Amino acid sequence: MPEDGSGPSQESPFTQVPVEVAVCVGRARPKVRDLLRLGPGGVLPLDRGVDDAVELYVGDRLIARGELVEAEDGPAGQLAVRLTEIVALEGRT
């Protein structure tokens, strides 16, 4: 590893493996009867506000937090996440 701590000088083949990142914007705990009453146009309130941080997960592991923004490089209205915090992972170097 280089002395500046930037990591290995050669890229590992594993860095080319794609992973799915899930972005959680909030959670709800409705009763089943309330879910059954929902239809088109129905609203399911979440436990977070519009300006609250979202959480990024790989599998069931929280890896980061961020804020929803409109993507700069994409169609109008496409969502993106601006990272605001990287969560410390055990064993991460």
Four-residue CA torsion sign, 59, 61, 67, 72: negative
Output the six-digit token pair for 42: 């129905």
- Among residues 67, 70, 71, 73, the alpha carbon closest in space to that of 85 is found at 67
Q: What is the pLDDT of residues 6-56, one digit of tens each?
A: 555 578 898 999 999 999 999 999 999 999 999 999 999 999 999 999 999
pLDDT at residue 89 in the model = 76
pLDDT at residue 88 in the model = 85
Quick check: 3 pLDDT over 50?
no
Residue ranges of domains in the chain: 16-86
CATH 2.30.330.10 fits 16-86, yes or no: yes
Q: If pLDDT is split at 50, 70 and 90, which confidence band does 92 have?
A: low
